[in-house]
Every structure is written in structure tokens, then in C-alpha cells.
Amino acid sequence: MQVLYALDVLEWIDVQDALALFWAHYGAPEEVKPFATALVEGTWLNRRSIDELIRGCSENWSLERMARVDKGILRMAVYEFLHCPDIPPKVTLNEAIDLGKIFGSENSGAFINGILDALYAKLREQNLLADVPLAGPPAGGIDTP
């Protein structure tokens, strides 16, 4: 989530550099780095299509008006819904709400919950939930800048 925030704020940095900078300053067990890297890369590379899905479920908030922290959390959760079939949607939802409560404003948890609940229902209705195993960004499914 912190790397996604940095990417959103620092438009000049690319994903690999942002990840390298993060790993240089914050220790993490080696076994979590591949998953975290795939999650950040997949979320960032697919952000345009993810943003469209978020826009479709945030009636009173444009993406541009959302706090960057909330937007990053929402993007990551939507990526997990779509591309991480091994993560139960309830876990994704709970983790996103918790991140919002920790890193966002006092209203972030409820805001994130509302949007993700609506978005999850829409994805289920359209049969768009995760069916691609996580092995980095899906082949052919990456948005181009």
C-alpha cells in the first residue's frame, strides 16, 4: 500500500524503482517479497481498468477527489478480487478496511467498505471474480500507459 501511494504521488518513479526504494528502507522477510512485488506491480499496471471499476461504484466521489491512501487501498483490493483466487474475498475486504483505519482518515474504513461491498457484488453479478492464478501480472491483461 505504501509503494502504491508513492507511485501515485511521485509520478517520475517507476514500479521497480519504487519497490527497490521501499525494500531498502523497510525490512521484510524474503518469502513475502515475491507476493508483495506481484501485488504492487499487478495493481499499478492494471490501475486504469481498476479505476474504471471503482468509478462505477463510487457515486458521490470522483476518483480524483478520493484520498490517495484510500485510492491505493481500493486499487489493491480490486486487483486481489480480480486476480488472486487464493485469497478469499472476505479476507481482502477485511484487510482493506483495516488498512484504511490504520493509514487513512477516521472515515476511511467505512468509505472503503462501502465501495468494495458494492464493487464485489457487481463483480459477482458479472462473473468477473478472480480466475487467474497469481504469478505476477496476468499475461495480456496489463493496461498500457
Q: Locate cell 496489463: which residue?
A: 142
Mean pLDDT of the chain: 86
| Mean pLDDT, residues 16-37 taken together | 90
- Please report the pLDDT score of residue 125 as a whole number: 86
pLDDT per residue as tens digits for the range 43-72: 999 999 999 999 998 877 888 889 999 999
In order of 30, 70, 86, the CA distances from 50 in angstroms are 28, 14, 19
> Which pLDDT band holds residue 143 (cuts at 50, 70, 90)?
very low
Q: Got the DSSP string for 13-31?
A: --HHHHHHHHHHHS---GG
What are the extents of the domains in the chain? 2-125
CATH of domain 2-125: 1.10.940.10
What is d(CA 139, CA 110) in angstroms, rounded to the nearest whole number? 34
pTM of the model: 0.84
Number of residues that make up the chain:
145
pLDDT per residue as tens digits for the range 84-96: 999 999 999 999 9
CA triplet 106, 110, 113: central angle to 5 degrees?
A: 140
What is d(CA 41, CA 25) in angstroms, rounded to the nearest whole number? 19
What is d(CA 8, CA 123) in angstroms, rounded to the nearest whole number? 25
- Please report the pLDDT score of residue 136 as a whole number: 39
Among candidate residues 77, 78, 26, 52, the one with its CA nearest the CA of residue 18: 26
